[in-house]
Amino acid sequence: MKQVNVGLLGLGNVGKGTYTILTKHADKISGMSGSQIDVKKILVSDVNKKRDIDVPKEILTTDAESILCDPDIDVIVELIGGIDTAYFYIKQAILRGKHVVTANKAVIATHGPELMDLAKKNRVLLLHEASVAGGIPIITAMLKPLAGNEFTEIIGIVNGTTNYILTQMTENNMEYDTALRLAQEKGFAEADPTSDVEGEDAAYKLCILMLIAFGVYVDPKDIPCEGITKIAKADIDFASQFGYKLKLLAGAKNTNGRLKYYVSPTLVAESHPLASVNNEFNALFVKGDAVGELMFYGKGAGPMPTGSAVVGDIISVAKCIGTDLLDVTPAQPYPVTEDDLELIGESKSMFYINFLVGDEPGSLGKVSTAFGNHGISIQSVMQRSQGEAAVPVIYILHETKRKQLDEALKEITDNNFVQEITSILRVLS
Amino acid sequence: MKQVNVGLLGLGNVGKGTYTILTKHADKISGMSGSQIDVKKILVSDVNKKRDIDVPKEILTTDAESILCDPDIDVIVELIGGIDTAYFYIKQAILRGKHVVTANKAVIATHGPELMDLAKKNRVLLLHEASVAGGIPIITAMLKPLAGNEFTEIIGIVNGTTNYILTQMTENNMEYDTALRLAQEKGFAEADPTSDVEGEDAAYKLCILMLIAFGVYVDPKDIPCEGITKIAKADIDFASQFGYKLKLLAGAKNTNGRLKYYVSPTLVAESHPLASVNNEFNALFVKGDAVGELMFYGKGAGPMPTGSAVVGDIISVAKCIGTDLLDVTPAQPYPVTEDDLELIGESKSMFYINFLVGDEPGSLGKVSTAFGNHGISIQSVMQRSQGEAAVPVIYILHETKRKQLDEALKEITDNNFVQEITSILRVLS
């Protein structure tokens, strides 16, 4: 049987999960890959650190070069995270003719196209199933069994931390700060949760999904991105009275060659499959022109689910090693349209607006007229007067451009029709 | 670019879907497969029949041999359905060194292991992603990105006809016969719906899923199988009062090397992801020891969704043609356990029992005592007395063996504690 040697960079959570799966299911994995797969070396920061996993000490090293230069190592599995060092290691590995498997969304979203080109030139594979939604096999699904589709839309709940926080706010009546603390206690949020709660993590994943689904690269910094730090419990409650759940969505839609994309807290109708994806779970909702609507649901993070995706990639690489398959497999997804897609970012959307309105007659009429003046039609309005001096009034608006909406809102505030715009949220339509 | 020629057997719904996708997305497909894929011949029953698809008449033929013996054809795509003729064609194709793609669940469930062995011996691929749940890429997912998992459970809603009927009964207050007629009008059920409504179609698919997930073959005839023809609207309503939805499930579970499997109408708690899979949609709920719980949701039938899966397989085959990858890829899934799985079929289950009970004091106590006598504990009971001479009493029972349940029910009926056992349903636990 063919021998395939793996060099593991990193023995944190995902590294441990990957090592555990490779050893526990060695028999099945060799059956599925036609290869004896061994972890030959593991890069760690401290060889003598106490670890809750049984790994032979002699395969641990603090010397990355000794792994990257080892001629017996066929596959480098990068699991150290971060951008710069990981990028350097991946590049070195490719230049030395080694296949690379990574779970690193930040590196792929930042340097993906360059690294994929480099891999193609050096006739090695660069696989990254684990970089989006952990154990959910969305990338392989789009590249292989769904390859006959032109994808028109992909919408993901791709960040478990924010989905956990929003679920707790919705179901257990918590404000944002309390829910964040609970997420941190449960290990679903990091001590510094910025990248998750501000939407950066979701933007990385959306960038990768667009690369796979549409064959185009959008810099994550150019993705219109809004996090969940300003979400008020009150809006979640009002929205639920209209039949909506609030989710942090990462979405992209190809409408006649115009690609629109966003990361944004968004109201999702309760009947939509994404509405019932709760807590730390992730889900990807995909539309293909042949297959129609598909949804993939599962755990988007954690040592074992992420390790599952990493091991799947290692098996794929092992199958190809020593064959001439690499000559015929495109390293990169193929653009779906004849012409380049036009990248236009922000798109029309339905909106939820929460105004604080003084208890004076005619306010509702003035606001509604202002929306009409700007060509925006109203789907529903709800006012809950309880005798206070000012009351919340909620509008759900039909699809409109953000620019139009802002002009209408300017008219409304300039004329003091309302006391305050409490919040503005996208609504999935 | 490599040239790959396809011979299509059948130009019915799935054949048309497949041909449409191959021609419409020829550019993307050649990019993804590294091959120019052409349909060279198509087997039809009548060359001159009027068709709602634009296919050059000169590639149509009624002569199967002229396709199977054509040395220029690399891949045979079998889409005629049925068992015997399809089996003969697939076998002939393999023996002549041609790769085979099929959407035919009946052939794979009936002759799969033999055909897979034959394909391996003849160094060709036999792919059948479309044979289970149409466009949902469950087979590829289990064989590739999830290959590092030991699967412990798979539960599917794999028959769109019965799911449509049960959804209509649940949501639109229909009895079985009315819902079946509606399904037939909408094209979701055939004129003779027997194979769907009696569970045979689901049993075929479960057989294939077990082959892929657990590496074992269970003859579909040996799968305990119950259809939906006896389902009463009243039971769906009672169950919903306990928080359950009724679904036709095809399930298999590996508990410490003992494999249990069934096709059965089953009550699913409303909070379970499978409970919200409605109408003609299919879903597969999979548990892997690394990845945890995953669900795949989408359209399980129809020309384009099924064609999507067929084209995915054609692309996979095209990539491999002319390479030596076949030497290293196992043609069959690898058994998950060291020892053979013990195939035990029926398993313990929770049950829902609907009794018709006379309006006499003490009935409830006698029935409950009888369950206790047989070691069966009760989760909940509901009695709706409305002054009639006989009233329905519903029991939800904790997990028990069917044999134990039958003994308890015998005691209950022998002693006339109830007037009638109206229905018995499994409850997913």
Contact between residue B7 and residue B78 where contact means Cβ atoms under 8 Å apart: no
* Mean pLDDT of all residues in B58-70: 98
Q: Which positions in chain A touch B337 (Cβ < 8 Å)?
A: none
Q: How many residues does chain A have?
A: 429
Q: How confident is the model at residue A362 (pLDDT cuts 50, 70, 90)?
A: confident
Inform me whether the pLDDT recorded for A337 exceeds 50. no
How far is B149 from chain A, CA to nearest CA, in Å?
A: 7
Which uninterrupted H or E stretch holds A28? helix A26-33
Task: List the B126-127 sheet strands across, edge first.
Answer: B60-61, B35-43, B2-9, B75-78, B99-102, B126-127
Inform me whether the pLDDT recorded for B328 exceeds 70. no
State the amino acid at position A374 in one-letter form.
H
Question: Which one has a higher pLDDT value, A61 or A322?
Answer: A61
Helix (H, G, I), strand (E, B) or coil at A343: strand
pLDDT of residue A333: 53
pLDDT tens by residue, A188-200: 999 999 999 999 9
Q: In CATH, what is the architecture of A349-427? A: 2-Layer Sandwich (3.30)
Q: What span, in angstroms and rounded, lies between the C-alpha atoms of B281 and B255?
A: 29
How far is B398 from chain A, CA to nearest CA, in Å?
A: 27
Return all residues near A197 (Cβ < 8 A) that are at least 6 apart.
A161, A162, A165, A180, A189, A227, A228, A229
User: Is domain A2-139+303-327 in CATH 3.40.50.720, yes or no?
Assistant: yes
State the amino acid at position A154 in one-letter form.
I
Question: Which one has a higher pLDDT value, A16 or A320?
Answer: A16
Q: Which tokens hold the place of B221?
A: 């005839």
Q: What span, in angstroms and rounded, lies between the C-alpha atoms of A249 and A260?
A: 13
- Give, in order, the Cα–Cα distances in Å from B181 to each of A318, B196, B232: 52, 14, 16
pLDDT of residue A389: 80
* Mean pLDDT of all residues in B286-314: 96
Please give the residue of chain B at the shortest CA–CA distance from A329: B34
Residue with the two structure tokens 């449409």: B20
Q: What span, in angstroms and rounded, lies between the C-alpha atoms of A220 and A200?
A: 8
pLDDT of residue A340: 62
DSSP class of residue A407? Answer: H
Gyration radius from chain B CA atoms: 24
pLDDT tens by residue, A268-310: 999 899 999 999 999 999 999 999 999 999 998 899 999 999 9
DSSP state string for A73-142: --EEEE---SSHHHHHHHHHHHHTT-EEEE--HHHHHHHHHHHHHHHHHTT--EE-GGGTTTT--HHHHH
pLDDT of residue B359: 76
Please give the residue of chain B at the shortest CA–CA distance from A21: B148
pLDDT tens by residue, A13-69: 999 999 999 999 999 999 888 899 999 999 999 999 999 999 999 999 999 999 999
The sign of the dihedral angle between the CA atoms of A346, A348, A349, A355 is positive
Helix (H, G, I), strand (E, B) or coil at A58: helix
Q: Which fold has domain B2-137+303-327?
A: Rossmann fold (3.40.50)
Q: What span, in angstroms and rounded, lies between the C-alpha atoms of A52 and A347?
A: 48
Inform me whether the pLDDT recorded for A206 exceeds 60. yes
Catalytic one of B16, B91, B105, B205: B205
Question: Which one has a higher pLDDT value, B93 or B271?
Answer: B93
Gyration radius from chain A CA atoms: 24
* Mean pLDDT of all residues in B111-124: 92
Phi first, then psi: what are they for B46, rounded to 5°? -150, 110
> Count of CB atoms within 10 A of residue A321's CB?
22
| Percent over 90 (pLDDT), chain B | 84
Helix (H, G, I), strand (E, B) or coil at A12: coil
- Give, in order, the Cα–Cα distances in Å from B168 to each of B177, B236, B334: 11, 11, 40
Q: Which positions in chain A touch B290 (Cβ < 8 Å)?
A: 17, 21, 135, 304-305, 307-308, 311
Residue with the two structure tokens 């003729």: B85
Helix (H, G, I), strand (E, B) or coil at A23: helix
* Mean pLDDT of all residues in B80-105: 97
Q: In CATH, what is the architecture of A140-299+340-345? A: 2-Layer Sandwich (3.30)
DSSP class of residue A190? Answer: -
> C-alpha angle B23/B25/B26, rounded to 5°?
60
Query: Which of B273, B312, B333 has the CB atom closest to A148's CB atom?
Result: B312
Domain coordinates of chain A in residue numbers? 2-139+303-327, 140-299+340-345, 349-427
pLDDT of residue B343: 75
**Nearest of B423, B406, B420 to residue B370 by alpha carbon:** B406
> C-alpha angle B58/B53/B46, rounded to 5°?
50
pLDDT tens by residue, B350-401: 999 999 998 777 888 999 999 999 999 999 999 876 677 888 999 999 999 9
- Tell me if residue A50 is catalytic: no
Contact between residue B120 and residue B332 where contact means Cβ atoms under 8 Å apart: yes
How far is A285 from chain B, CA to nearest CA, in Å?
A: 9
pLDDT tens by residue, B236-283: 999 999 999 999 999 999 988 889 999 999 999 998 999 999 999 999
β-strands B258-269, A349-358 pairing:
unpaired
Q: What span, in angstroms and rounded, lies between the C-alpha atoms of B27 and A308?
A: 33
How far is B329 from chain A, CA to nearest CA, in Å?
A: 6
Q: Which tokens hold the place of A2?
A: 């063919």
Contact between residue A394 and residue A353 where contact means Cβ atoms under 8 Å apart: yes
Phi first, then psi: what are they for A330, rounded to 5°? -65, 135
Q: In CATH, what is the architecture of B140-300+340-345? A: 2-Layer Sandwich (3.30)
Query: Which of A290, A292, A316 has the CB atom closest to B144's CB atom?
Result: A316
Residue to substitute from A328, A332, A334, A340, interface B, most B β-carbons within 10 A = A328
pLDDT of residue B360: 78
Q: Which tokens hold the place of B388?
A: 């009639």
Q: Which tokens hold the place of A6?
A: 């793996």
Q: What span, in angstroms and rounded, lies between the C-alpha atoms of B391 and B360?
A: 10
Inform me whether the pLDDT recorded for A377 exceeds 90. yes
Query: Which of A17, A21, A325 has the CB atom closest to B323's CB atom?
Result: A325
Q: Which tokens hold the place of B137?
A: 């890429």
> Count of CB atoms within 10 A of residue A423's CB?
18
Contact between residue A312 and residue A128 where contact means Cβ atoms under 8 Å apart: no
User: What residues does A155 pair with on adjacent strands?
Assistant: A251, A285
Please give the residue of chain B at the shortest CA–CA distance from A16: B290
**Nearest of B243, B262, B244 to residue B252 by alpha carbon:** B262
Between A170-174, A386-390, B335-339, the lowest mean confidence (pLDDT) is in B335-339
Q: How confident is the model at residue A330 (pLDDT cuts 50, 70, 90)?
A: very low
User: Furthest-apart CA pair in chain A: how many Å?
Assistant: 83
**Nearest of A55, A33, A96 to residue A314 by alpha carbon:** A33
Secondary structure string (H, E, C) spanning chain B = CEEEEEEEECCCHHHHHHHHHHHHCHHHHHHHHCEEEEEEEEECCCCCCCCCCCCCHHHEECCHHHHHCCCCCCEEEECCCCCHHHHHHHHHHHHCCCEEEECCHHHHHHHHHHHHHHHHHCCCCEECHHHCCCCCCHHHHHHCCCCCCCEEEEEEECCHHHHHHHHHHHHCCCCHHHHHHHHHHCCCCCCCCHHHHCCHHHHHHHHHHHHHHHCCCCCHHHCCECCCCCCCHHHHHHHHHCCEEEEEEEEEEEECCEEEEEEEEEEEECCCHHHHCCCCEEEEEEEECCCEEEEEEEECCCHHHHHHHHHHHHHHHHHHCCCCHHHCCCCCCCCCCCCCCEEEECCCEEEEEEEEEECCCCHHHHHHHHHHHCCCCEEEEEECCCCCCEEEEEEEEEEECHHHHHHHHHHHHHCCCCCEEEEEEEECC
Burial code (b: 16+ CB inside 10 Å, e: under 16) for A322-341 equals: bbebbebbebbbbebbeeeb
State the amino acid at position B253 in one-letter form.
K
